[in-house]
A = this chain, B = another copy of it.
Amino acid sequence: MENYIKTYEAYRKKIKAYHYFGWLMSWDQETEAPEASIEYRTKQYQVMAEEMYKIESAPEYLEAIDQLYHHLDQIQDVDFKTEIKHAYKGLRAIKLIPKDELIAHQVLVSQASHIWAKAKEENNFEAFLPTLEKIVEFKRNYVKYLETDELKGYDILLDDFEEGFTMKEYDAFFHKLREDLVPFVKEVTARKPKFSRKLTKGVFPREQQIKFSEYLIDVFAYDRKRGLLKESAHPFTSGVSSVDTRITTHYYENNVTSSIFSTIHEMGHAIYEIQNDPKYDDTFLHGGTSLGIHESQSRMYENMLGRSLSFWKVHYPKLVELFPKELKGVSVEEFHRYINRSERSLIRVEADELTYALHVMVRYELEKGLITGKIKVKDLPKKWNRLMYEYVGVRPKTDKEGVLQDVHWSGGMLGYFPTYALGSAYAAQIYNAMNKEINVEQELENNNIKAINAWVKEKIHKFASSKSPKELLLIATQEPFNPQYYVDYLKHKFQE
């Protein structure tokens, strides 16, 4: 066993180093690499990717994982056991799927995003159809190869992205949303509140917006020694260790709130990884445990902290100081209502807090049908539009605004979308639990977000990936996942 552990650790050290350089290249690429250098960069990356593949698929490494997994009882360290379980799970795909099919799929998805992007641009679903059919076919075979007594079909894809969450949980969750939320949304979005033209038509100079985002870094105590803020086309968080987790935002001069909520959202992600116990930095357990838990942190920071009146009572004066002319006469109450308005809309990434999960629900139902075979790929546009109308109350006029809007399926990511909705629901449950132990609104009014950071660190962040989403929810909230908190939270907030 000693030798297998040594082998495993030696490979892990190498793999972590290669990942670091891949991570750095992608960060550079998204934030500043000169435009003309893309081909050169890609060439260097291909060499590295080949080297990396050789290491990750080295027989002695795979053998070590296999041996360790089959002798888990001989391993004392609980975290190391968890890591080996994860590694073994990763191994199964390599072992059980014929190499030819796996490689053909990788080649396919490496080209598919271009095909998708072109099809979207040209609003031409037919152009994407043959590619998407192949992807879905692969996924349908994939789940057959990987099925076990416990997991079959779409559940395998769901569990890949959110351990322990399968159709049983998601069906109950989305059923609740359909029953409780869909009618409520129709009611809320029927009202059409009016806002000052200063908010809806104003121009907010970029330099001042940068100053406010920099200000937010200090408000949220996002550690500048372990991270930094830059700009990119689409905001994202990019972390590689508890000492290096960076974020980006994007400044639109015709929209002052976009950069603010992107910055807060990404800080939610970043603070999670920065507050991981540093002992995980050299292991594969560093990082968020799942997409859903990750999104729960970003959404909680963005929506529950960042869109609250308590928060803006303290920080709105600073915003007005930076935009004295632009916000003159706009009260904090009006600003608060403005940032919490709800509208039925077509595009998921632009959807507000109330309607967001309904966009996800559309995708969940479609993916389920694709994997069982009840829905044919060619029928997706029609089915998409029907479900959008049913859940969100709007019907896309084009596929560009409909089934072609998201990149995920072109990357082979089926089973991913549901985690977005789950994250928001986790957030409500966690927020509720936190409020039993600290008075969050009071802490916001005292400008003491450190107290909130400290709570989530203790209950969620420090564990990194060493606990599953279900385990974390139990630790943080003392109960299993319960979507009632989410529905209650939204109804309470949007009833007003």
Complex interface residues of chain A between 278 and 333 (CB less than 8 A to chain B): 281-282
> Would A44 and B28 be within 8 Å (CB), given that A34-B246, A244-B37 are in contact?
no
Cross-interface CB contact of A244 among B14, B20, B40, cutoff 8 Å: B40
* Interface pair A241/B25, CB less than 8 Å apart: no
List, in ascending order, chain B residues with CB within 8 A of A28's CB: 24, 27-28
Minimal Cβ-Cβ distance residue in B for A22? B21
> Would A44 and B25 be within 8 Å (CB), given that A34-B226, A34-B246, A36-B225 are in contact?
no
Minimal Cβ-Cβ distance residue in B for A35? B225
Q: Does A376 contact B (CB under 8 A)?
A: no
Cross-interface CB contact of A34 among B21, B32, B37, B224, cutoff 8 Å: B224
Q: Does A17 contact B (CB under 8 A)?
A: yes
Minimal Cβ-Cβ distance residue in B for A23? B44
> Would A14 and B47 be within 8 Å (CB), given that A28-B24, A40-B243, A40-B244 are in contact?
yes
Q: Does A103 contact B (CB under 8 A)?
A: no
CA distance A87 to B25 in the complex (A): 28
Q: How many residues of A are counted as interface, with CB atoms below 8 angstroms from the partner's CB atoms?
A: 39
> Would A227 and B17 be within 8 Å (CB), given that A40-B244, A243-B40 are in contact?
no
The complex is assembled from copies of this chain, and their number is 2
List, in ascending order, chain B residues with CB within 8 A of A493's CB: none
* Interface pair B226/A36, CB less than 8 Å apart: yes
Q: Does A408 contact B (CB under 8 A)?
A: no
List, in ascending order, chain B residues with CB within 8 A of A21's CB: 21, 24-25, 44, 48
CB distance from A148 to the nearest CB of B (A): 36
Q: What does the 1/0 interface line of A242-276 toward B look like (CB < 8 Å)?
A: 01101000000000000000000000000000000
CB distance from A248 to the nearest CB of B (A): 12
* Interface pair B32/A44, CB less than 8 Å apart: no
> Would A227 and B34 be within 8 Å (CB), given that A40-B243, A281-B40 are in contact?
yes
CB distance from A3 to the nearest CB of B (A): 21
List, in ascending order, chain B residues with CB within 8 A of A230's CB: 32
Minimal Cβ-Cβ distance residue in B for A244? B37
CA distance A226 to B36 in the complex (A): 6
In the A-B complex, the 5 residue pairs with the closest CB atoms: A17-B47, A37-B244, A20-B44, A36-B225, A37-B243
Contacts A32-B230, A34-B227, A40-B243 known; 11 new A-B pairs at CB < 8 A = A14-B47, A17-B43, A17-B51, A21-B48, A24-B24, A32-B228, A34-B224, A34-B228, A36-B223, A41-B244, A43-B282
Can you offer 5 A-B residue contacts whose CB atoms are under 8 A?
Answer: A17-B48, A21-B21, A34-B224, A34-B225, A34-B244
